[in-house]
Chains A and B, each alone.
Chain A
């Protein structure tokens, strides 16, 4: 048989197989049901952002042993997950029984989620960070169990901080000992000190808003909205935080307006910045071949006049009202609470229970947990405002405003403009 004929027959065979598979409505991913499981079955589909999948893998295995619940994961990229959730919740037919939701999405989907009050026992409430207990409670019911949480802490170059010459030079210049910063002033001084010889003291992230919001909390303000949903972005705390944020640009790489999480993480892992304020999980994700591997120290988020303040970044396990498999779904959520510490062994390495973090904080490789616990328990730490418009506020007002500010815009004018824009959005 000639090669051409062989290829043709192979192609026809392939096409026939594909058509036959399509006709039987089978995909290659497995035999699982495409819509949420039928009532009474012990199989649940769990929708999860790709980065969080590993966090729940161990839990799923344990849940099968303990409760006999089989778990299929539906893994999606972060950028598309909100659209998918909107689409399925609005249609009323969901393809999952449990969804892991970013905290900022809870207000948007609260009406499509079932209460899971029974999991929030008094004991559980004591073992979950207070800000998360508050955030999970919407309109008097708990609608999400924090599966893992995160917060920004300080990562710094331990080798540079412990260098005898650096210590002496710093002491001579600033009059106090070089150590991990605890205040805004120290952070500014250390950033300035290390900005030399092609290196920078820190980064300034103009492309993301969370870090500036943490400084707002440290300055004593509620973020953006007060408890009555009044827009307070133009108050003293916001201005003080913005001025501090912008003041660091002189000790940071150029182009701060475009720096986002990925860029800042790259700069630090490449050894180009001496300090960064970054999500705690990044400590365990420093590549082994990075020039800074093994040379990084951790500290709690810096404190302003109101004390240590950070913005938690939890993900909540939720059960949609439209699932046909509520019982098994809730069993899985309970398993996730019971075996919460298993997430710490995953590649992301996070948990949500205080006891889980405490169990690991003194172990080698988990040095970021102590500072993370301290930051999450910080007196000024608070979650983001519970408004459905939050993502819109971030994308259309906060990030553009920060980008203008780090590029040299007048902070008072920018905050006043932002206030008007947010008020228009919330009308």
Chain B
């Protein structure tokens, strides 16, 4: 647009500029030049769009292919799963792997345990992260800043370093092999990230909103509950998804802390790889089934997630 406007302006002043020795020939033929620019711009836009589509497609293939391969493998016959060189599509489609995987003792229980653990861990994360992040962003104290940095530092500790002491602590409290113990352990993973995420969402909410609520008679907590929380609900959905996924896919703590009652599905999936062989078919079948709730949850919360992602994007 700016180029076109500039061209028009040049055309308007061409009469006075004609005498100048530095006058360019393009000024004499403004109409044709404008056309060239428009076409060039359109072509440029098309090129950019095509490039973006190619990048998007590449990203989709990069992320989607492993999952598709897993899905196809789950429908292959045993010999097909170990074919050298491997094939993408099954030569013969079978549901045998699903029958084997889902018929295995303890699979259903592990699913229930995974759901239970992930829900409790998500609730715990939100319950702690929302007030913590709100306090840090609204009061802006030195201790708050130190706290949020310290929370980030805990993410830098390898889980295996805290896994074994955590398992011992849970055992000494009589909590080993319970969903609550595993949920607490999972919360230690998701809480720092949840605080950081929620802090960034609270930052995006103008203080004026709360002040207006206070003027209308809300207490500080009332303003938080009635005004701020609904505004950041998209952000809470994003944080909940991250916390849920962190627990849903977690393996190490589940391995160290669960036994008979609370073993989660990631450990059961890993059990298909034994010292005596690897049952690719059953492993991929169970992994495919295990990914369904997460896909559904993401689809269900899709709008909230997008809203959360863009929260604060227009600030300033």
Where the two chains meet, the residues of A that have a C-beta atom closer than 8 Å to any C-beta of B are 7, 14-15, 18-19, 21-23, 25-32, 34-35, 45, 47, 49-52, 72-80, 83-84, 86-88, 90-91, 93, 95-96, 102, 150, 262, 265-267, 269-270, 272, 279, 281-282, 285, 287-291, 348
As a 0/1 sequence over residues 291 to 304 of chain B, the CB contacts with chain A under 8 angstroms (1 = contact) are: 00000000010000
Contact of A80 with B259 at beta-carbon distance under 8 Å, contacts A51-B274, A91-B168 already known: no
Docked-complex contact B255 and A269, CB < 8 angstroms? no
Task: Tell me the nearest residue of chain A to B270, going by C-beta.
Answer: A77
Indicate if the CB atoms of B276 and A348 lie closer than 8 Å. yes
Complex Cα distance A272/B79, Å? 13
Does the CB pair A83–B255 fall under 8 Å?
yes
Contact A266–B82 (Cβ < 8 Å): yes
Across the interface, do B260 and A50 meet the contact criterion of CB distance under 8 Å?
Answer: no
Q: Is the CB of B260 within 8 A of A29?
A: yes
From A47, A51, A87, A290, contact of B276 by CB (8 A): A51
Complex: A343 Cα to B245 Cα, angstroms: 39
Given A25-B178, A29-B110, A90-B164, A15:B119 Cβ within 8 A: yes
Q: In the complex, how many angstroms separate the beta carbon of A212 from the nearest chain B beta carbon?
A: 19
Contact flag A269-B261 (CB < 8 Å), given A30-B109, A86-B164, A93-B171: no
Contact of B106 among A75, A87, A266, A287 (CB under 8 A): A75
A22 and B179 contact, CB distance less than 8 A = yes
Given contacts A28-B110, A266-B82, A279-B276, 18 further A-B pairs with CB under 8 A are A7-B300, A18-B115, A27-B116, A28-B108, A28-B109, A34-B259, A45-B259, A50-B270, A51-B277, A76-B271, A79-B270, A83-B163, A83-B255, A90-B164, A93-B168, A93-B176, A282-B277, A285-B276
Minimum CB–CB distance for A260 against chain B, Å: 11
5 interchain pairs, CB-CB under 8 A: A25-B178, A27-B109, A28-B109, A34-B261, A87-B163
Q: Are A270 and B255 in contact (CB under 8 A)?
A: no
Q: Which residue of B lies closest to A75 (CB)?
A: B271
Q: Does B143 contact A (CB under 8 A)?
A: no
Is B74 close to A, CB under 8 A? no
Are A74 and B277 closer than 8 Å at their CB atoms? no
Please give, as numbers and ranges, the residues of chain A lying within 8 Å of B300 by CB-CB distance: 7
By a CB distance below 8 angstroms, the chain A residues around B71 are: none
How close is A273's CB to chain B, nearest CB, in angstroms?
11
**Cross-interface CB contact of B177 among A34, A76, A87, A281, cutoff 8 Å:** A34
Q: Could you tell me the distance in whole angstroms from the C-beta of B302 to the nearest C-beta in chain A?
A: 13
A87, B168: Cβ atoms under 8 Å?
A: yes
Among A30, A75, A83, A289, which residue has its beta carbon within 8 angstroms of that of B77? A289
Question: Which of B109, B163, B180 is in CB contact (< 8 Å) with A29?
Answer: B109
Pair B274/A91 contact, Cβ less than 8 Å: no
- In the complex, chain B residues whose CB is within 8 Å of the CB of A52: 274-276
Contact between A102 and B261 (Cβ–Cβ < 8 Å)? no
Say yes or no for B22: interface residue by CB 8 A criterion.
no
Beta-carbon contact of B164 and A35 below 8 Å:
no
Contact B179 A91 (CB under 8 A): no
For A31, A265, A287, the residue with the greatest tally of chain B CB atoms inside 10 Å of its CB is: A287
Q: Is the CB of B106 within 8 A of A29?
A: yes
User: Which residues of chain B come closer than 8 Å to A267, judged between CB atoms?
Assistant: 84
Contact B256 A78 (CB under 8 A): no
Evaluate contact between A34 and B176: CB separation under 8 angstroms: yes
Q: Evaluate contact between B84 and A272: CB separation under 8 angstroms.
A: yes
Can you list, as one digit per residue, whether each of B250-266 has a CB less than 8 Å from chain A (1) or not (0)? 01100110111111000
Binding site for A on B (CB under 8 A): 77-80, 82-84, 106, 108-113, 115-116, 119-120, 123, 160, 163-164, 167-168, 171-172, 174-180, 183, 251-252, 255-256, 258-263, 267, 270-278, 300
> Could you tell me if A21 and B116 are in contact, using CB atoms closer than 8 angstroms?
yes
CB-based contact B261/A49 at 8 Å: no
Which of B79, B110, B171, B172 neighbours the largest number of chain A CB atoms within 10 Å of its CB?
Answer: B79
Bound-complex Cα distance A22 to B181 (A): 9
Contacts of B119 in A (CB 8 A): 14-15, 18-19
Given contacts A77-B273, A289-B79, contact A30 B261 (CB under 8 A): yes
Contact of B259 among A74, A102, A262 (CB under 8 A): A74
9 nearest interchain CB pairs? A51-B274, A34-B177, A27-B261, A27-B262, A50-B271, A28-B112, A77-B270, A91-B168, A287-B78
CB–CB A35/B273 < 8 A: no
Q: Given A19-B119, A34-B261, A87-B164, is A262 in contact with B277 using a C-beta cutoff of 8 Å?
A: yes
B residues near A72, Cβ cutoff 8 Å: 260
A95 & B78 in contact (Cβ 8 Å cutoff) = no
B176 contact set on A, CB distance < 8 A: 34-35, 93, 95
Residues of B within 8 A of A83 (CB): 160, 163-164, 255-256
The residue on B at minimum CB distance from A313 is B275
Select one of A25, A77, A88, A281 contacting B180, CB under 8 A. Answer: A25
Residues from chain B with Cβ under 8 Å of A31 in the complex: 261
The docked-state distance in angstroms from the alpha carbon of A289 to that of B80 is 9
Complex alpha-carbon distance, A282 and B252, angstroms:
29
| Beta-carbon contact of A27 and B178 below 8 Å | yes
Given the interface contacts A91-B167, A272-B84, does A21 sit within 8 Å of B179 by beta carbon?
yes
Which A residues are in CB contact (< 8 Å) with B180? 22-23, 25
Chain A residue nearest to B259 (CB atoms) is A74
- List of A residues within 8 angstroms of B175 by Cβ: 25
Whole-angstrom distance from the CB of A211 to the nearest CB of chain B? 15
Q: Which residues of B contact A91 (CB under 8 A)?
A: 167-168, 171-172
Task: Report the separation of the CA atoms of residues A289 and B79 in the bound assembly, to the nearest whole angstrom.
Answer: 6
Chain B residues with Cβ below 8 Å from A21 are 116, 179
Q: Which residue of B lies closest to A102 (CB)?
A: B275
Q: Report A-chain residues with C-beta under 8 Å of the C-beta of B258.
A: 27
